Structure 1
Amino acid sequence: MVDVMPGRTHKDTVAAEPGSRPRLVYVVPHLSEDESEHFAHIPALLAALGKHVDVAAAVERGNPPARLAGVRLLMRVPGRRRIGRMLGTALTVHRLSRAGYQTYFLRYSTLFLIVLILTYPLYRHRILLWRSGLPNVRGPEQPRTLRLRAREFLNMITARLVHCLVTGPETMVPLMAGLWGVPRHRMRLLYNDVDAGRFAPLDGEARDAARTQLGWGDDEFVVLFVHRLSYRKGVTLLAPLLDAVASAPQVRDSGLRVRLVVAGGGPERPRLEREAANPARGGRMQLLGPVPNHDLPRLYAAADAVVMPSYEEGFPRVLLEAMASGTPVVTTDAGGSVDVVGTDYPYVAPVGDLDALAGHLRSLVASPHADRCELGRRLRYRAQSEFSPQRVAAMLHALL
C-alpha cells in the first residue's frame, strides 16, 4: 500500500539540526484531577519523556493543571460542540506548527486525528497512532448497527492514513496489522506504563485501616473487579463466578467469606445491581460505581485478589495497576494479557471459561497468605522492571 502522506522522512522529522532534541505533541483526550479513566497515567509518562524529548501536550477535554512535569508547552484545545472543537483543534495544530512541533502521538482522539489528516497538506506533520484491542468482539445482544459499521470503517481508513500505527504488547502487533490492513513495516511496538510509586502495596497497619474504612472484614477474602461494566470485559461472568467460588467446599473450609467488589460504570450496571440485590448472595457483591483513578491504589492494595474475566483486551492497564500494587490477579488470555503477566503466570484462563476462572480463584483463596504475598511481590517486580514510565518513555523516544 502506498503511503498517502509522503514527503517527510524519519530523519527530517527527528532532527532539524545535529544535537537537537526531538519534539513531540502528545494528545491527551481528557485530563482532570478526578480522572476515572486511564488517562491519569499520562502525567507520569510525560514527566519521564520530557527528560529526553521536547514535549507539548494538547489536552482536548477536562480541567488539566496549569503545569505538567516534563511538558514544555501545555495547550488546552478550545471549543465545546463538535464544530467548535474541530475549529479549535485546527487552531491548536496551527499554533503547534508555528512553535516548531511536527510529530503527534495520539491514542483515542478521533476528531484530533481527522483534523491532522485533513491539514497534512498544509503542515506536513507526522502522525503516530496508538491502537490496541479487538473492537469486533461484541455481546450476543449487540447488533452490528450502521453506526458501528461506520465507526469501524473510519477506524480502518484512519489507521491506513497515518505514518505509523503503534500498538502493544507483542501479541497485538500482528493482530492489529491484520485487523486494520496496515503493512508490518509501518507497525511499531510500545508498552503501556504504570507508576509503581503511586500503585504500591500498603504495610500491614495501613492495609488494615483501609479495609476497615471500606467495610471489609478480617474474615473476608476480597476479590476486586475494576473495569468498564460491559460485555466485552466479562461482566456477565461476575455473579456466576462469585457463586461458584463462594460455594466451593475448600472455600467454606477455609473460614473465609468471599466478597466481590466491583468498581466501574457502564451499560451492564443495571444487570449487576439486580444480581447484587439477590438475597441468595447475602450481600457478598458490592458495587462502588466509577472510582477516580487517584483512589484506585488503595482499593488494589487492600484487596486479596483482582479478577479480569475479559472477552476482549489489548494492553490492559488493570493488570498493570494490580501488579504494581502487589495483588495477585486472575485473568483470561484475552488480547495481550499473557504478555503482561508473563507466560509462566499460573492464574490465566481461556476466554469465556468460567470453570477455569473459578478454579483459579478457589486456588488463591485456599493458598497460604505467605504464598499470595510472594506471588504479589513477583508481580510487582515485573511491573517495575518491564512497564515503568521510564522504560516506556525510552521506547517512545526511540520511535521518534
Structure 2
Amino acid sequence: MADVMRGRAYSEPDSAQPGSRPRLVYVVPHLSEDESEHFAHIPALLAALGQRVDVAAAVERGSPPAQLAGVRLLMRVPGRNRIGRMLGTALTVHRLSRAGYRTYFLRYSTLFVIVLILTYPVYRHRILLWRSGLANLQEPGQRTTVRERVQRAVNRLTARLVHCLVTGPETMVPLMAGLWGVPRHRMRLLYNDVDAERFVPLPSEERNEVRARLGWAEDEFVLLFVHRLSYRRGTRLLAPLLKAVGHAAEGPGSGVRVRLVIAGDGPDRPLLTREAAGPELGGRMLLLGAVPNRDLPELYAAADCVVMPSFEEGFPRVLLEAMACGTPVVTTDAGGSADVVGAGYPYVARVGDLDALATHVRAVMGMSYSDRCELGLRLRRRAQSEFSPERVAAMLHALL
C-alpha cells in the first residue's frame, strides 16, 4: 500500500478530458466569521484558485458561509465527537468521490489525512499534505508527554504515506524532508499568501483616528506582537525586550515612549498578564487577547513596528500580514522568516538573541516617520508581488 500511496500508482486524474480543468478538494480545518486563526486567509486563496481549478471545499469545523467565491462545491464535515467526526469525514470523502473529486490538499488536518489513507484502497485519491515548522521544539526542561509522542509518530507516518509533502518557503524544504523522513523527490514547494486588498496601510488621518480610538498616544512608539502566546513564539522574550528598549539611555530612539501591544492567546497568557502588571513595565504592556483576523489589518497599520521573536516558525503569516499593511517588522531567523522578508532585510536577529532584537527595534524607533513608511512600503510591494493569492493559486495549480 505504501508504494501506491506514494504516488507510484493511483487512479485516473480528476480531469479526464484533455484540456479540462483539474478538480481539487481543499480541506479547511476551521472557518468562521470571527476566525482568529490564519484560516481566515483561505477564502481569498480559494477565490483565486477557482479561476484555474474546479474547487470543492470541505470545512471541518466552524460556521462557514453558505457560499465561498471560487468554490464549486462546499461541504461541512458532520460530527461532534471524535468518532462522529471520523465517520463524518468518511462520509464526506464518499460524497466527494461520487462528485468526481479525488485530489486533496490539506493543512495539518490529521484526522482527515488518516481517513484518506484508510479509504485509499476504495477511492484511489491523491493526497497533498502541507506542513511547515519544527513542531518538536520544546521549552528547556519540559518533558515530552505520551500524547505528544503519539502525535509525532502519527505525523511522521502520515507524512510518509501521502503522495507528496508540501511546504514553504525555500528554507523549509530540506528541513521538513529531514524532520519527517520524506525523500526530496516527494517534496513540493508552495508559498503562503496574504490578501493585500484586505491588509492595507491606512492613510495618515485615518491612522491617527484608529490610534486615538485604541488609546495610543501620538508620540508613543507602538510595538505590536501578534501570535500564539507560547514558548515557541518567543513570548518569554517580550517583557525583557520592552525593558531593554524602554531603558535605553542613548542611541537611536532614546527618549521615545514605547508601548507593547500583544494580540493572541495561549499557554503563556497568565505569565504575560503577571508581567504586564509588574511595576517595572509601568503599564506599558497591553494584552488584547485573541483578535478576530478581520480586525487585525487596522491593528497592524496603526502600529509603528511588528516584532516576532520566535524560536520556531515555518512560513509565518504574521510577517505577511504586517508587510501587506506596510508596517516595518523585526523578526528572528526562525524557520523561513528570513525568506519571507527577503534577502538583505536588515532587521533579522538570530533565534534567542535578545540584544539583537532590542538593537533592531531601537533602529526602527530612530527612523523618521517618512523613513518608516518607505521601509513599510518596500515590504508591502514584496508581499504583493511574491505572496499574492493569485501567485500562490498558480503554484498550487502547477502541483496538480
Q: TM-score category by the smaller chain? A: over 0.9
Q: Give 1:254 shift.
A: 4.8
2-side partners of 1:377 and 1:393: how far apart?
24
Q: Distance in 2 between matches of 1:55 and 1:389?
A: 15
Counterpart AA for 1:244: A
SS of the residue corresponding to residue 197 of structure 2 reads: coil
Q: How does 1:1-400 map to 2 (within 5 A)?
A: 3-5=3-5, 12-250=12-250, 254-400=254-400
Name the CA distance, whole Å, in 2 between partners of 1:204 and 1:5. 54
Q: Quick check: 2:30–2:62 contact (8 Å CA) kept in 1?
A: yes
Shift of 1:368: 1.5
Take 1:362 and 1:168, find their aligned partners in 2: how far apart are those partners? Answer: 30
Please list the CA deviations of residues 13-58 of structure 1 after superposition, one character each: whole Å capped at 9, or x if unmatched: 2531111100000000000000000000000000000001000000
The 3-state SS of whatever aligns with 1:13 is coil
Residue segments in structure 2 that go unaligned for 5+ positions in a row: none
CA distance in 2, matches of 1:378, 1:252: 22
* 1:9 CA displacement: 5.4
**Is the Cα–Cα contact under 8 Å of residues 223 and 304 in structure 1 kept in the other structure?**
yes
Measured against aligned partners, the alpha-carbon deviations of 1:275-309 in whole angstroms (never above 9, x if no partner) come to 00002211100000000000000100000000000
Q: Deviations over 1:298-348 (max 9, x none)?
A: 100000000000000000000000000000000000000010001110000
In 1, the alpha carbon distance for the partners of 2:5 and 2:387 equals 32
Aligned mates of 2:62, 2:314 — CA distance in 1: 25
Contact 1:246 1:252 in 2 (8 A): no
Distance, in Å, in 1 between the alignment partners of 2:164 and 2:313 is: 21
1:180 partner amino acid: W
Cα 1:141–1:310 change in 2 (3 A) is: same
Change (3 A) 1:235 1:253: closer
Asked if the contact 2:3–2:9 (Cα under 8 Å) also holds between the matched residues in 1, the reply is: no
TM-score by length of structure 2 reads 0.98
Aligned-residue CA RMSD (Å): 1.5
Distance 1:243 1:251 in 2: 15
Once the two structures are TM-superposed, the CA of residue 361 in structure 1 deviates from its matched residue by 0.4
Contact 2:10–2:124 (CA<8 Å) still a contact in 1? no
Change (3 A) 1:253 1:60: closer
Deviation at 1:250, TM superposition (A): 3.5
Please give the secondary structure, in 2, of the residue aligned with 1:281.
Answer: coil
User: What is the Cα deviation at residue 8 of structure 1?
Assistant: 6.7
Amino acid at match of 1:54: D
Give me the whole-angstrom Cα distance separating, in 2, the residues matched to 1:25 and 1:305. 38
- SS of equivalent residue, structure 2 residue 339: helix
Letter matched to residue 114 of structure 2: I
CA deviations 1:74-132 (Å, max 9, x no partner) are: 00001100111000000000000000000000002111111000000000000000000
- The SS at the match of 1:286 is strand
What amino acid sits opposite 1:162 in the alignment?
Answer: V
Which AA in structure 2 matches 1:65? P
Runs of 4+ aligned structure 1 residues displaced above 3 Å come to 6-12, 250-255
User: Distance in 1 between the 2:253 and 2:149 partners?
Assistant: 51
Contact 1:165 1:186 in 2 (8 A): yes
Q: Which moved more, 1:6-15 or 1:185-194?
A: 6-15
Judging changes above 3 Å, is the alpha-carbon distance between structure 1 residues 97 and 245 closer, same or farther for their aligned structure 2 residues? Answer: same
Structure 2 Cα separation of the partners of residues 201 and 126 of structure 1: 40
Q: TM-score, normalised by structure 1?
A: 0.98
| Alignment CA distance shift 1:10-1:315 (3 Å) | farther
Shift in Å, 1:256: 2.1
- CA-CA distance at 1:143 after TM superposition: 1.1
Shift of 1:189: 0.1
Query: Contact 1:31–1:62 (CA<8 Å) still a contact in 2?
Result: yes
Letter in structure 2 aligned against 1:290: A
Judge conservation of contact 1:8–1:126 (CA < 8 Å) in 2: no
Q: Is the CA contact (8 Å cut-off) linking 1:3 and 1:163 kept in structure 2?
A: no
Q: 1:46 & 1:392 partners in 2: Cα distance? A: 10
Instruction: Give the letter for the 2:188 counterpart.
Output: R
1:242 alignment partner AA: L
Measure the CA separation in 2 of the matches of 1:168 and 1:115: 25
SS class of match (1:315): coil
Any conservation in 2 of the 1:190–1:395 contact (CA below 8 Å)?
yes
Paired residue secondary structure (2:335): coil
State the distance in 1 between where 2:152 and 2:8 align.
28
Alignment partner of 1:307: what SS? strand
1:207-240 superposed Cα distances (whole Å, 9 cap, x missing partner): 0010011100011000000000000000000000
